[in-house]
Amino acid sequence: MKINTLEMLTLHIPFYTDYVTQHIEIYRVELDNGVIGYGENMGDESGNFDRVIGQNPFAIMQDDSIGFGIQMSLFDAVGKSVGVPVYQLLGAKVRDRCPISWWDIDMPPEDWVKEAEESIKRGYTSIKLKARPWRDIFKQVDAVGKVVPEGYKLDIDFNGFLRTAEGAQPVLQELDKHPNVAYYESPYYLGTDVEGAGRLQEAVEKRIVEHFNEPCLHARCCGGFVVGGGATGTRRINALCASFDKPFWLQMVGTGITTAYAMHIGAVLSHAQLPAITCFELWEHDLLEQRLEVVDGTIAPPEAPGLGIEVDEYALERYRVEQGTPSPTALYKQRERTCRVHIPDSKGGEVVHDFTGEDVYYPAFSEGEYPGFVRGVWMEVIEGTG
């Protein structure tokens, strides 16, 4: 058995809310037995084609360096060829259903409410939310809490914007009071101060989670991890997390193709116990003939051979664009606008700061040039200014 052909299809798929269109690369491999496999990634892996074509897929599919999307397509094709689901190529199954979470970028409270309501309709019991210093996280969380049921979990991802353990503690302790809040992701980047992270975890009630790194693991300074990457690397990390009894969630972003793959991987990893993030619900089309059903916040890894899914070929052609085509998102960022942040002051007024775009205000807040997470802070976007 060998790899005959490998091609990359570039797609632009709009989000279901019309906020943005995402650039995706689909990988389609054909083996010499005529079997076709699919994978995907956000990046271009075509530089690896020459080292893959002509190889025995069994000999190369465990090599993470060939690329996430290519590796996925090989697992799909090999599973189809030998008549087993991908999870049986990865290890022993430890769960029949894998937890999965909804995902959202930072938005005004009323938009988060709509997203939470939609997630419930689609079978979810948790949501990952991006906390940003130019929005009132307390108001956002309170608004979402009013429309979700008891037991629905919120993962608040700060992406390091709280900057230090000392700066994070009062914010997290206040959020601790909310019954739906379950996880705090990267309040600051914990590896920069593992001792402070340990003190912070002791000072708050809810679990603090960080992108996997061994210093944090060995310091036992947080309650879990975020794990992504290739099939071999994730299994290695699972073994490490198991030795410290630290749970994690898988984070593998893509459409229904990647989501099916993530469920196969999650089915064999003992400590992939927290809800996975794949973001596949964001797109108006999941690229599948049949939707992966979410029930009580979980998805069952498909039992059919390979990934166990049928890719919608019509959808691939519908969303396909020429390689190098600028995405609508890239074109949007080229237009002029003002991003105006209103920060309340101690005198009952406010201080207003204008920015030309995220590339300016993101690093400014990240570096602490402006106060963050002030109650009442809000952002407005004014289009067509210069």
Q: What is the pLDDT of residues 178-191, one digit of tens each?
A: 999 999 999 999 99
Q: Is the Cβ–Cβ distance between 1 and 32 less than 8 Å?
A: yes
Residue 386 has pLDDT above 60, yes or no: no
Same domain, 140 and 199: yes
Q: What is the pLDDT of residues 214-235, one digit of tens each?
A: 999 999 999 999 999 999 999 9
- Residue 327: its pLDDT value, please? 80
Pairing status of strand 126-130 against strand 21-31: unpaired
> Is residue 346 one of the residues assigned to a domain?
yes
- Residue 21: its pLDDT value, please? 65
Same domain, 166 and 283: yes
Residue 60 CA: distances (Å) to CA of 53, 84, 90, 106 = 10, 18, 14, 39
Q: What is the pLDDT of residues 344-364, one digit of tens each?
A: 999 999 999 999 999 999 999
> Is residue 150 one of the residues assigned to a domain?
yes
- Residue 14: its pLDDT value, please? 86
pLDDT band, residue 333 (cuts 50/70/90): confident
Same domain, 149 and 298: yes
Which DSSP category does 190 fall into? G
Distance CA 199, CA 195 (A): 6
> Is residue 315 one of the residues assigned to a domain?
no
Residue 320 has pLDDT above 60, yes or no: yes
Q: Name the one residue in this structure whose structure tokens are 């989670």.
A: 209
Please give the average per-residue pLDDT across 1-29, as a whole number.
Answer: 87
- Residue 123: its pLDDT value, please? 98
Same domain, 285 and 361: no
Nearest to 381 by CA among 162, 130, 108, 114: 108
Same domain, 65 and 182: no
Give the angle subtended at the CA of 178 by the CAs of 173 and 183, to the nearest 5°: 70
Same domain, 113 and 28: no
Please give the average per-residue pLDDT across 267-295, as a whole number.
Answer: 97
The token pair at 133 is: 């210093």
Same domain, 272 and 150: yes
Q: What is the pLDDT of residues 246-278, one digit of tens each?
A: 999 999 999 999 999 999 999 999 999 999 999
Main-chain dihedrals φ then ψ at residue 50, nearest 5 degrees: -60, -35
How many percent of the chain have pLDDT more than 90? Answer: 92
The H or E element that residue 157 is part of is strand 153-157
> Is residue 316 one of the residues assigned to a domain?
no
pLDDT band, residue 65 (cuts 50/70/90): very high
Same domain, 285 and 152: yes
**What total of structural domains would you count in the chain?**
3
Give the angle subtended at the CA of 362 by the CAs of 285 and 206, to the nearest 5°: 75
Residue 23 CA: distances (Å) to CA of 125, 254, 284 = 28, 10, 13
Please give the average per-residue pLDDT across 8-17, as a whole number.
Answer: 88
Pairing status of strand 207-211 against strand 350-355: unpaired
Same domain, 119 and 243: yes
Non-local CB neighbours of 349 within 8 Å, separated by 6+ positions: none
Main-chain dihedrals φ then ψ at residue 255, nearest 5 degrees: -85, -160
> Which has the higher per-residue pLDDT, 330 or 75?
75
The token pair at 116 is: 């939470």
Same domain, 229 and 355: no
> Is residue 91 one of the residues assigned to a domain?
no
- Taking residue 328's Cβ as centre, other Cβ atoms within 10 Å add up to 14
- Taking residue 352's Cβ as centre, other Cβ atoms within 10 Å add up to 10
pLDDT band, residue 385 (cuts 50/70/90): low
Q: Which domain holds residue 209?
A: 98-306
Give the angle subtended at the CA of 164 by the CAs of 159 and 166, to the nearest 5°: 130
Q: What's the mean per-residue pLDDT of the chain?
A: 96
> Which has the higher per-residue pLDDT, 329 or 152?
152
Residue 19 has pLDDT above 60, yes or no: no
| CA R_g for the chain | 22
Same domain, 107 and 221: yes
Non-local CB neighbours of 300 within 8 Å, separated by 6+ positions: 96, 97, 98, 263, 293
Q: Is the Cβ–Cβ distance between 265 and 87 less than 8 Å?
A: yes
pLDDT band, residue 177 (cuts 50/70/90): very high
> Is residue 172 one of the residues assigned to a domain?
yes
> Is residue 348 one of the residues assigned to a domain?
yes
Same domain, 152 and 283: yes
Please give the average per-residue pLDDT across 21-46, as a whole number.
Answer: 94
> Is residue 302 one of the residues assigned to a domain?
yes
- Residue 326: its pLDDT value, please? 86
Residue 334 has pLDDT above 80, yes or no: yes
What does 222-257 look like in DSSP terms, one character per residue?
Answer: SSEEEE-S-HHHHHHHHHHHHHHT--EEEB---SHH
Which amino acid is present at 219?
A
